[in-house]
Amino acid sequence: TQLLEQSPQFLSIQEGENLTVYCNSSSVFSSLQWYRQEPGEGPVLLVTVVTGGEVKKLKRLTFQFGDARKDSSLHITAAQPGDTGLYLCAANAGGTSYGKLTFGQGTILTVHP
Amino acid sequence: SAVISQKPSRDICQRGTSLTIQCQVDSQVTMMFWYRQQPGQSLTLIATANQGSEATYESGFVIDKFPISRPNLTFSTLTVSNMSPEDSSIYLCSARGGQETQYFGPGTRLLVL
């Protein structure tokens, strides 16, 4: 079973601060996705990274896929209360597990005004 | 992207009964999946819903407890059978889109008394 270690599990910060969430594994993945989920809703896809070393930006969010495709990070600049939610990384192992996602434990982010 | 709807959105059931959850995708998709999520926690894959054949279950999940149907490329059902309070959870349907992406429904919140 491939495991994704996501950290930190909880993050409570003030508006305007920066933060980084990490997602690490000993396994190589064909792709990795980041989701954001709000209470009462399903996870919403933020980004998919496929290429080792890839960096993608979505407004104040920066996503990076490690060179070896074993780890990823999500960096939020100048966090806002609207960023509050559960952030999940999920990886696609490919091969015989094609299409199946393994999820990290999740990071509950709270941004205080 | 794919838009996914689920019915019911929530339910309260008595132990020993069964509940069938429906998942509808607004476009034809090759792969559909069912996940379970405890509130505030991450997602665990239950099974892959295969069109025209039996679902493929992950370790710890069996067909007798979670029978799944997938009669076509846009629809799937998950039944939670002979429910107990331990089955109280959020059940999520997902569909694989292009470019390694996966989209989720809003979830079905189940409480078993």
* pLDDT one-digit tens code per residue, B13-57: 999 999 999 999 999 998 899 999 987 789 999 999 988 889 999
Evaluate whether B57 touches B63 at the Cβ level (below 8 Å): yes
B46 touches chain A (CB under 8 A): no
Judge: B105–A42 Cβ closer than 8 Å, yes or no: yes
Cα–Cα nearest to A27, from A55, A6, A50, A3:
A3
A46 touching B, CB under 8 A?
no
Three-point CA angle A87, A90, A91, nearest 5° = 155
- Proportion of chain B above pLDDT 90, given as a percent: 81
- Say whether pLDDT at A11 is over 90: yes
pLDDT of residue A100: 83
Q: Is B53 an 8 Å CB contact of chain A?
A: no
Residue-level pLDDT at A99: 74
* CA A26/CA A35 separation, integer angstroms: 21
Candidates B61, B2, B66; CA nearest to B30 is B2
B102/A33 Cβ within 8 A:
yes
Q: List the single residue in A with minimal CA-CA distance to B109.
A: A40
Residue A81 burial class via C-beta count within 10 angstroms: exposed 0-12, middle 13-18, buried 19 and up: exposed
Structure confidence by residue, pLDDT tens digits, A32-80: 999 999 988 999 999 999 899 999 999 999 999 999 999 999 999 999 9
Q: Catalogue the E-assigned strands of B59-101.
A: 68-69, 75-80, 89-96
Of the candidates A21, A1, A4, the residue with the CA atom closest to the CA atom of residue A70: A4
Residue B96's pLDDT is what?
87
Predicted pLDDT at A56? 96
pLDDT of residue A83: 96
What's the pLDDT score for residue A95?
Answer: 63
pLDDT-derived band at A26 (thresholds 50, 70, 90) equals confident
Cβ contacts of B40 on chain A, cutoff 8 Å: 86, 106, 108
- Look at the block and give the residue holding tokens 């002979």: B82
- The answer to whether A106 faces chain B, any CB pair under 8 Å, is yes
- pLDDT tens-place string over residues A97-113: 667 888 999 999 999 99
